[in-house]
Amino acid sequence: MHFLVFQTLNGLTTGALLFFLASGLTVVFGLMRILNLAHGALFLFGGFVGYTIGERTGSFVLAAVAGALAAGLLGLVIQQAFSRTLLGSPFNQVLLTLGIAFAIGNVVLWIWGGAPRLIRPPEVLNGSVAVAGVFYPIYRLFLIGLALLAGALLWIFWERSRIGAVVRACVDDRPMAAAMGIPVDRVFAAVFAVGAALAGLTGVLGAPVLGLSIGLEFDVLLLAVVVVVVGGIGSLTGAFVGSMAVGLIDAFGKARFPEISYFTLFAPVILILLLRPNGLFGRAGVE
Amino acid sequence: MARARISPGAAVVAIGALLAIASWPLDAYWTGLLTQAVIFGGAAVGLDILVGFAGMASLGHGAFFGLAGYGLALGTLRWGVNPWLAAGIGIVGSTLVALAFAPLAVRVRGLAFLTVMLAFGQVVWGLATRGGSATGGENGLPGVPRPSLGPWDLSGAEAFYLFTLLMAVAAIYAVVRFAGSAVGQSLIGVRDNETRMAALGYDVRRLRIIAFVVAATVGAVFGALSAAFNGFVGPGSLDWRLSAQLLLSVVVGGAGSLWGPFVAGAGLHMLETYFAGTTQRWPLVLGLLYIVTVVLLPGGIASLPRLWRQRRRSARPAATPRSRSASES
Amino acid sequence: MSAAATPTLEVRDLTVGFGGVTALDGVTLAVRPGARHGILGPNGSGKTTLFNAVTGFVRPRAGRIVFAGADITGLPAHRRARLGLARTFQITSLFPSLSARANVAMAAREKLGVSGDPWRPAAAHAAAEERAAGLLADLGLRHLAERTVGSLGYGEQRELEIAVALALEPTLLLLDEPTAGLSVAETGALVELVRQLPAALTVVLIEHDLGVVFGLTDRLSVLLNGVLIADGPTAEVREDARVKDAYLGR
């Protein structure tokens, strides 16, 4: 029983972080058909900026804001500098964004060095509480709660707000949206920047759990890509369900079958995609 | 379209011979570097069949490269069989895995295919790293022997380089023939227009499987060579970074041109070895290289000759105004 | 003459639906050998869906499709093509990166059974190359042979598509709006091309241009909202009151 609760909470924590990361990735993909493989590098960059600000100011909130802003700005620069290539052939997209990822990762190594870093969670969230007989870190519970809240807010924003409607219109039918007078280019830039900011924010939020180290950017990127494709490209619901599923499968797989944990994580991915090529919540025709 | 005046097969043989002659006086370091470069170049040529011809971008091709290496290592180190037989086991085994997985993988397209292959690669990688004593886990399997070919001892750097060149010429010649054959044309048809191919009576699913398996087999041949060359296989022989490197070699070289991916696959390895030895900034250089390629050379290395011809052509009309070539563009 | 009694194509009670929408509703029609059979109907009436069902690109909910006496309802598209069922598409469907000759040769190699050769150069299959060259010459497209298809004009592409379909040596040719988007001169050229097709070849044609339809076809089937509302000799159907109401009269 304790095992079950503990691993469920671990899975939900991973799922929460994945959701922050994957929601940005999936909306950018759904909107612009851009698979941004630099998303993990933006995550890492945001995390390290947050680390420095956190060390200087001692404030976790400032660290989180700085991480999000820095990654968002960098994202905006990338989008503006390469907007034509980003909308071009998928091969070149992969080449470009992976190139950017390598470059960012190495610059981060240059600036911050190779030693792994940790951001301490804010004071109020230190310590553990008992949940169904298991002592569990408060900060991780906070992450799970935050993901639920963010999911709800994003959903409301997406489905109910005017801006959400504009973005959805661009996802569904770009030429039509443009014909209706929606400034598609500006929507693209804004969404790309917000996605990048979310990645940077995740870097800071995740640092107390995952730490910050070179190479982490690709570990989280692989999982986020899996979440996006399995959940269904461009679907926030899919990103949420996919994140939690991947988090839980990962946690239980690692605990129960450590020898074949990659098998337990990726074999279901293959199965799901073969049965539903457009992902669990994806629409047909999106490739 | 460079409709070759010399046959592509002859070109492959000629380049192989040139590489052999040019490297004759080289020291062991350079010979070793060239050996590994040819291996990566060859694997990229094989992948081009899948990516450039059939239009299926895979992020899991390293698995077939590495599986053959593991087959060779397990055969020689664990089961004590002859290295040639072990290499055969590795290549055939890897091909059989591809044959078994292809019918599933080709059901999906585009990004879903990319992701399915990524997941497949991760599964294989996971099995290799967590395989305990059977696969050597994270440490891999050191001590893979190099065989001798009759009286020809292949354990020396130079001998193995020449052997690798020979194998590479044979494999790439076969790929070039295949690419220019009726089946190769059919793969272009599948890439360009799947619906039309079906309406012409082509079994598209079968063609996609063929491309998948051919690419895997070529990858396996070079994977076995790589394991014998390094005397070692480990998780790095089949992880997603290798898959990404192969895929990006195809794109940087120019998908569908065959020679471009070879140049890029071999060249990127040589650059990496050079930079990794002198600086910690290799990933930055590599990243910038990718970015510059996309921006300045979106068709890859293979588009260079065409661009060069266009430049010469556009320079000429000044001398001979209203030439035929000017009115063409 | 029992052969003449067997229609080239028979569609029986064909129903096709996508989700909640019924695109074809119990359509039954027969096309006799050598016919020039027109399919008429407003946009969204199910004409292209009928072609897609006949050629195996959509699966019907109910009904049978019989080709030259053989039930092909369950066959995949490529098997139907091999039986002699060729088609063109409403939106031109070719291989843009290959030359015109290579496009036709692609079809010819499959028909001649040499498409599985993984070794000899594709162009070394002389019979296929000859058939391609011959067809291009027959249709007056010889001057385009070495041009890359992506660089051809739209009208040229539409004509080339017919050459590609003919390389299959079909017994039944389905043309989906062959003159859509063509200029008056190009339309005239294409009509002439269809007129000169061998008399033994059965042709079914979807067409919006009434002049083209009345000039080319001897039989006409009219679809409205997925239902067949008229079927008979062209001369009779064009006078049918319901057809006039539904389509011609607007």
Interface size, chain B vs chain C, as Cβ–Cβ contacts under 8 Å: 98
Q: By mean pLDDT, which of A21-30, A246-255, B3-12, C115-124 is the weakest?
A: B3-12
B129 neighbourhood in chain A, CB within 8 Å: 262
For residues C63 and C186, state if they share a domain.
yes
Strands (E), B129-196: 141-142, 148-149, 152-153
Residue C71 pLDDT exceeds 80: yes
- Are B195 and C57 in contact (CB < 8 Å)? yes
What pLDDT sits at residue B180?
A: 94
- Are B286 and A88 in contact (CB < 8 Å)? no
C164 belongs to a structural domain: no
Average pLDDT over residues B265-286: 90
If one compares B114 and B209, the residue with the highest pLDDT of the two is: B209
C55 belongs to a structural domain: yes
What pLDDT sits at residue C63?
A: 95
Please tell me the distance from the alpha carbon of residue A234 to that of residue A30, in angstroms, as a whole number: 4
Please tell me the distance from the alpha carbon of residue A209 to that of residue A205, in angstroms, as a whole number: 8
- Structure-block tokens of residue B241: 């970074």
Residue B245 pLDDT exceeds 50: yes
Q: Which chains touch B (3 or more CB pairs under 8 A)?
A: A, C
- Are B252 and A95 in contact (CB < 8 Å)? yes
Number of domains in chain C: 2
Find the residue in B nearest to C150 (Cα): B192
For residues C70 and C100, state if they share a domain.
no
pLDDT category of residue C249 using cuts at 50, 70 and 90: low
C161 belongs to a structural domain: no
Q: Which of C88, C110, C171, C173 to mutate to test the interface with B (most CBs of B within 10 A)?
A: C110
Average pLDDT over residues B137-151: 86
Contact B239, B121 (CB under 8 A): yes
Please tell me the distance from the alpha carbon of residue B172 to that of residue B170, in angstroms, as a whole number: 6
Please tell me the distance from the alpha carbon of residue B114 to that of residue B223, in angstroms, as a whole number: 21
Nearest C-alpha of chain C: how many angstroms from B52? Answer: 12
Picking from A218, A267, A277, the nearest residue to B107 by CB comes out as A277
**pLDDT tens string B84-108:** 999 999 999 999 999 999 999 999 8
If one compares B291 and C238, the residue with the highest pLDDT of the two is: B291
Three-state SS for C181?
A: coil
C162 belongs to a structural domain: no
Which phi and psi angles does C127 have, rounded to 5°?
Answer: -60, -40
Q: Delineate the domains of chain A, giving CATH numbers in brackets.
A: 2-275 (1.10.3470)
**pLDDT tens string B276-305:** 888 888 999 999 999 999 888 888 999 888
Three-state SS for C119?
A: coil
Picking from B122, B251, B281, the nearest residue to A91 by CB comes out as B251
B127 neighbourhood in chain A, CB within 8 Å: 260, 262-263
B202 neighbourhood in chain C, CB within 8 Å: 78, 110, 115
- Structure-block tokens of residue A193: 């920047």
By the 10 Å C-beta count (0-12 exposed, 13-18 middle, 19+ buried), A162 is classed as exposed
Cα distance from N-terminal residue to C-terminal residue, chain A: 42
Please tell me the distance from the alpha carbon of residue A65 to that of residue C20, in angstroms, as a whole number: 48
Which phi and psi angles does A264 have, rounded to 5°?
Answer: -65, -25
Please tell me the distance from the alpha carbon of residue B289 to that of residue B291, in angstroms, as a whole number: 5
- Are A263 and B127 in contact (CB < 8 Å)? yes
For residues C69 and C142, state if they share a domain.
no
Scanning B157-186 for CB atoms below 8 A from C yields: 177-178, 180-186
- Are B118 and A225 in contact (CB < 8 Å)? yes
For residues C187 and C228, state if they share a domain.
yes
- Are C93 and B195 in contact (CB < 8 Å)? yes
- Are B201 and C168 in contact (CB < 8 Å)? yes
Residue B231 pLDDT exceeds 60: yes
Residue B318 pLDDT exceeds 60: no
Orientation angle between helical segments A2-32 and A216-231, nearest 10 degrees: 80
Q: By mean pLDDT, which of A228-242, B218-232, C153-167 is the weakest?
A: A228-242
C146 neighbourhood in chain B, CB within 8 Å: none
Contact B69, A106 (CB under 8 A): no
Contact A102, B294 (CB under 8 A): no
Nearest C-alpha of chain C: how many angstroms from B164? Answer: 23
**pLDDT tens string C132-151:** 999 999 998 999 999 999 99
Residue B44 pLDDT exceeds 60: yes
What pLDDT sits at residue B6?
A: 59
- Are B251 and A35 in contact (CB < 8 Å)? no
Task: Residue C17: give the domain boundaries.
Answer: 2-84+170-248
Does residue C156 come out as left (phi exceeding 0), alpha (psi in the -120 to 50 range) or beta? alpha
What pLDDT sits at residue C74?
A: 92
**pLDDT tens string A59-94:** 999 999 999 999 999 999 999 998 877 777 778 888
Q: Does B126 touch chain A (CB under 8 A)?
A: yes
Touching, B vs A (3+ Cβ pairs under 8 A): yes
For residues C238 and C199, state if they share a domain.
yes
- Give residues with Cβ within 8 angstroms of B299, minimum separation 6: B254, B306, B307
Q: Which of B48, B53, B101, B122 to mutate to test the interface with A (most CBs of A within 10 A)?
A: B122
Interface size, chain A vs chain B, as Cβ–Cβ contacts under 8 Å: 141
Percent of chain B with pLDDT over 70: 93
Q: Does B189 touch chain C (CB under 8 A)?
A: yes
- Are A95 and B290 in contact (CB < 8 Å)? yes
By the 10 Å C-beta count (0-12 exposed, 13-18 middle, 19+ buried), C17 is classed as middle
pLDDT category of residue A263 using cuts at 50, 70 and 90: confident
Contact A202, A21 (CB under 8 A): yes
C109 neighbourhood in chain B, CB within 8 Å: 182, 185-186
Q: Specify the CATH number of the domain B8-317.
A: 1.10.3470
Q: List chain B domain ranges.
A: 8-317
- Are B201 and C76 in contact (CB < 8 Å)? no
Nearest C-alpha of chain B: how many angstroms from A34? Answer: 11
For residues C113 and C11, state if they share a domain.
no
How far from the centroid of its chain's Cα atoms is residue B241's Cα? 14
Average pLDDT over residues B150-171: 89
B176 neighbourhood in chain C, CB within 8 Å: none
Please tell me the distance from the alpha carbon of residue B272 to that of residue B286, in angstroms, as a whole number: 8
Q: Is the dihedral of CA C237, C241, C247, C250 positive or negative?
A: positive
What pLDDT sits at residue A285?
A: 42
Which phi and psi angles does A244 have, rounded to 5°?
Answer: -65, -40
C118 neighbourhood in chain B, CB within 8 Å: 177-178, 181-184
For residues C27 and C51, state if they share a domain.
yes
Closest CA to C164 of C90, C93, C238: C93
Find the residue in C nearest to B198 (Cα): C78
Q: Does B247 touch chain A (CB under 8 A)?
A: yes
Query: Model ipTM?
Result: 0.91
Please tell me the distance from the alpha carbon of residue A33 to that of residue B75, in angstroms, as a whole number: 45
Contact B46, B217 (CB under 8 A): yes
Residue found under tokens 């002389």: C126
Q: Does B201 touch chain C (CB under 8 A)?
A: yes
For residues C68 and C184, state if they share a domain.
yes
Residue C3 pLDDT exceeds 80: no
Residue B17 pLDDT exceeds 90: no
State the average pLDDT for chain A. 88
Please tell me the distance from the alpha carbon of residue B226 to that of residue B83, in angstroms, as a whole number: 13
Residue B3 pLDDT exceeds 70: no
Picking from B123, B294, B295, the nearest residue to A266 by CB comes out as B123
What pLDDT sits at residue A283?
A: 66
Nearest C-alpha of chain A: how many angstroms from B264? Answer: 13
What pLDDT sits at residue C4?
A: 54
- Are B126 and A229 in contact (CB < 8 Å)? no
Q: What is the pTM of this model?
A: 0.90
pLDDT category of residue A33 using cuts at 50, 70 and 90: confident
Nearest C-alpha of chain B: how many angstroms from A263? Answer: 5
Residue B208 pLDDT exceeds 90: yes
Q: Which chains touch C (3 or more CB pairs under 8 A)?
A: B
Picking from B192, B195, B201, the nearest residue to C110 by CB comes out as B201
C116 belongs to a structural domain: yes
Q: Does B257 touch chain C (CB under 8 A)?
A: no
By the 10 Å C-beta count (0-12 exposed, 13-18 middle, 19+ buried), B139 is classed as exposed
C68 belongs to a structural domain: yes
Q: Does B195 touch chain C (CB under 8 A)?
A: yes
Residue B316 pLDDT exceeds 70: no
**pLDDT tens string A181-231:** 888 888 889 999 999 999 999 999 999 999 999 989 998 999 998 898 888
What pLDDT sits at residue A75?
A: 96
3-state helix, strand, coil in chain C (%, to 5): 40, 25, 35
Picking from C93, C115, C164, the nearest residue to B186 by CB comes out as C115
Q: What angle do CA A101, A104, A107 make, to 5 degrees?
A: 150
pLDDT category of residue B1 using cuts at 50, 70 and 90: very low
**pLDDT tens string A85-140:** 777 777 888 889 999 999 999 999 999 998 999 998 888 888 888 888 888 999 99
Please tell me the distance from the alpha carbon of residue C74 to that of residue C172, in angstroms, as a whole number: 18
What pLDDT sits at residue C247?
A: 66
C135 belongs to a structural domain: yes
For residues C131 and C36, state if they share a domain.
no
What pLDDT sits at residue C9?
A: 96
For residues C61 and C116, state if they share a domain.
no
Contact B117, B59 (CB under 8 A): yes
Q: Does B102 touch chain A (CB under 8 A)?
A: no
- Are A274 and B107 in contact (CB < 8 Å)? yes
Average pLDDT over residues C105-111: 96
Closest CA to B257 of B303, B217, B207, B324: B303
- Are B180 and C121 in contact (CB < 8 Å)? yes
- Structure-block tokens of residue A84: 């034509």
Q: Which of B196, B203, B208, B303 to mutate to test the interface with C (most CBs of C within 10 A)?
A: B196
CATH of the domain at C24: 3.40.50.300
